[in-house]
Chain A
Amino acid sequence: MKKYTYTEKKDTRSGFGAGLLELGKQNNQVVALCADLTGSLKMDAFEKEFPDRFFQVGIAEANMMGIAAGLTIGGKIPFTGTFANFSTGRVYDQIRQSIAYSDKNVKICASHAGLTLGEDGATHQILEDIGLMKMLPNMVVINPCDFNQTKAATIAIAKHHGPVYLRFGRPSVPNFTAPDQTFEIGKAVMLNEGKDVSIIATGHLVWKALEAAEQLAEKGINAEVINIHTIKPLDEEAILKSVSKTKCVVTAEEHQMNGGLGDSVAQLLARKLPSPQEFVAVNDSFGESGTPDELMKKYGLDTVNIVAAVEKVIKRK
């Protein structure tokens, strides 16, 4: 088992803030919009450095999406920032018509996704956003796993022409990927090669997948771990290659089972390589208030759940 270490835990939203600041320096066409959550999104540094290219729109997310679409006309590359809930469900029709269908070069950057938002509770803990966004034709959906990867992803999406949904979160998680990594949209990252099972994880569940693989190794199970930071377009080749070797798969994500990464993987396998699959995801339920760790435990998104899912799926081979 390949060993992963980290020196500190950091929040992925700060990776976004750092990436946005760097982008601002690199490319003067990059502009940012925020709906009264500048501090929460870590966009303050960009606002301070580039006040003319920062648009505070107030608590009016629908208007923010429309303004972002309009800003692209004339060559700007707008990055919108608010919580994942208000970046998707609240403004779905604005994104659908003015951004996705109109093929506008808007980067929808969404923080506080999933249960790990914590104490604010289910009103804010969106677990449907990946599904909502991946259903839109023309939309790229990205969910990086740590600070460094979120920073790299933020910089990389500016070079992709077209709408992108970038999802990240609030809690501090192990920052284990390389600070100088090249982020390639749509390219899976092989974290550990194995032969008994493929664990395909995204976002905050990637580190837990590595923890699970270590525990499984102690039990004599050799798990392959793949980080899928881009849910759409899905790296079909990498997934098929892995599952054709391991013959079974566990997907892990901080999202509803319906519409998430697991869904995308299952659809691919159903079409091209039918294989036993278990899902570590929220099972058709809203969240609730609590600490991030308590919530991940209660809703079955912890390391122990990945281990159990692997043991179950291996028996189904």
Chain B
Amino acid sequence: MPKMDEMKRLCTQVRRDIVRMVHAVNSGHPGGSLGCVEFFVALYGDILRHEPSKFNMDGKNEDLFFLSNGHISPVYYSVLAHNGYFPVSELNTFRKLNTRLQGHPTTHEGLPGIRIASGSLGQGMSVAIGAALSKKLNKETNIVYSLHGDGELQEGQIWEAAMYAAAKKVDNYIATVDYNGRQIDGDVDKVLPLGNLKAKFEAFGWTVLENPHGNDLEQVIASFKLAQTHLGKGKPIVILMKTEMGMGVDYMMGTHKWHGSAPNDEQLKKALEQLPVTLGDY
């Protein structure tokens, strides 16, 4: 299937973009970005009903996406650019003075594709719920999606939002948790274990789906499509998506150490050797 091949090639290019972006400014968050490449490529390439060339804040009659764990901005920016929201060459400005590609995503500089600032964790689920309620009031049939880190679920506001979404039957909304098991200080299980996450969301009244293969593009698309069959049934939906932090760069995998550090020149070279150019570098 040519489209799938094309999306897989994009995944590799996005990974190159990510490591090059964080290397260029010696800062940023490559680990979680690399782990969520398939999620973003699938979402923007095959799932969202959206019009990148006509981006506007209200996004009426479009599906909307909110990134709650804003620190994985490199993957977000790369995929937005490759989907036509802004020129791919602009990735070169990431985290530099006067850029629209701020360290964490923001609406402030008017970057197409972004509808809310995120970075301070735990806020995106509430925002996504608000946008989903707005769609219901406007009698739109479009869907709202969001992504959250697993460490982010330690924020209390997430659970306020989770309680609300189920109680008020926000059923035009699909959240995903990047269940990579790692956060800045170490493994989530060591920092503050989440316990039985599936049971927690179920107890809050959500439909819970599990995708143990969040770095398999076909599986990510399949889990979105499965989630869509649960829409409109009176419950919010969450996909617990297992990913590998640092996926695609061997020395960044199996550790939390690349959550928020950039590779040096030598490390970049080593990373890029594992990620052949597919669509051309920015």
Interface residue ranges, A against B (CB under 8 Å): 31, 52-53, 55, 57-58, 60, 62-76, 78, 93-94, 96-98, 101-104
Contact = CB atoms under 8 A, between A and B. Distances in A.
A68 B130 contact: yes
A60 B137 contact: no
Which 9 pairs, one residue from A and one from B, show the smallest C-beta to C-beta distance? A70-B130, A66-B126, A74-B134, A63-B160, A60-B160, A67-B130, A70-B127, A70-B131, A71-B130
Interface of B: 57-60, 64, 66, 106-108, 115-120, 122-135, 137-138, 140, 156-157, 160-161, 163-164, 167-168
Given A94-B157, A102-B107, A31 B137 contact: yes
Contacts, number: 118
A62 B164 contact: no
A102 B130 CA distance: 14
Contacts of A93: 120, 123
12 contacts: A55-B168, A58-B163, A67-B126, A67-B161, A69-B116, A69-B126, A73-B134, A74-B60, A76-B137, A93-B120, A97-B123, A98-B116
Given A73-B134, A75-B134, A67 B58 contact: no
B117 A74 contact: no
A104 B57 CA distance: 10
Contacts of A68: 130
Given A63-B160, A97-B123, A55 B117 contact: no
B127 to A, nearest CB: 4
Given A31-B137, A68-B130, A70-B130, 19 more contacts: A62-B122, A62-B123, A63-B126, A66-B124, A66-B129, A66-B161, A67-B127, A70-B134, A71-B134, A73-B57, A73-B116, A73-B130, A74-B60, A74-B140, A94-B123, A94-B126, A94-B157, A98-B127, A101-B107
Nearest to A31: B137
B118 A63 contact: no
Contacts of B130: 66-73, 78
B130 to A, nearest CB: 2
